[in-house]
Amino acid sequence: MATVSIDRLTKTFPHATRPVLDHVSLEVADGEFLVLVGPSGCGKSTLLRLIAGLEDPTDGTISIDGAVVNDTPPKLRDIAMVFQNYALYPHMTVTENLGFSLRMSHTPHDRAREQVDEVAHVLALETLLDRKPAALSGGQRQRVAMGRAMVRHPKVLLMDEPLSNLDAKLRVAMRGELMRLHQRDATTTLYVTHDQVEAMTLGDRIAVLHDGRIQQVGTPQELYHHPVNVFVAGFIGSPA
């Protein structure tokens, strides 16, 4: 059970003339898959980094299950993040990469092994466990990155354009994989993409970020058929 509530969240970087995020409010419901879209540079990654605790907000609050976590260190937030560039440990095998966070949290060895085996099975990584990242394809690396995030069964999963470095065919396959995993685990997920098709197929709801503000939040159908403004219409609305 996990909900994420963002209330009037504002982020202004030092020396910037205007905030990247300007009083952004957004709720991710328990078990929801919410997709965040918006043009390059609009603050999508910044929003995820704030939720993960990798940046400090200028103003506003971030709550998980109703408790404000602004001052909670990243490690204690029970959030896992998947980055666009995979960020695997190059000197570790797949098994070691998958188990790293479990070792850090002092999970007993047998239990850690079970959890690694389970996630390796789900993501079809069983035959790759002894390889290092350099010996994996892009799609395999990204599966390891996802496995590494999921292995702890975090309360909240944040994914920052996780498929954008993959070719089109693999992207479609991984999209199916993600949907299957979400149906299985129902982990509360905030997923960033600039791919409209990905947003429409994956999102229970879609939030559109532009000019520091959430322009609209709604189901794919709502945004497609009833975009609130020209920007949303241009981004995902119907051409009518």
Pairing mode of beta strands 156-160, 188-192: parallel
Nearest to 133 by CA among 124, 144, 123, 122: 144
Site string for Mg ion, 26-65 (x = CB under 5 A): -------------------x--------------------
Supply angle C-alpha 129, 117, 125, rounded to 5. Answer: 40
CA distances from residue 51 to 46, 112, 147, 184, 233 in whole angstroms, order as listed: 9, 26, 20, 24, 28
- Shortest reach from residue 46's CB to Mg ion, in Å: 8
Dist CA 206 CA 204 (whole Å): 7
Residue ranges in 6-45 that form contacts with ligand ADP under rule CB under 6 A? 13, 20, 38, 40-45
Q: Confirm or reject binding of residue 193 to Mg ion (CB under 5 A).
A: no
Residues 65-104: x/- map of binding to Mg ion (CB under 5 A)?
Answer: ----------------------------------------
Binding of residue 215 to ligand ADP (CB under 6 A): no
The residue ranges that bind ligand ADP (CB under 6 A) are 13, 20, 38, 40-46
The residue ranges that bind Mg ion (CB under 5 A) are 45
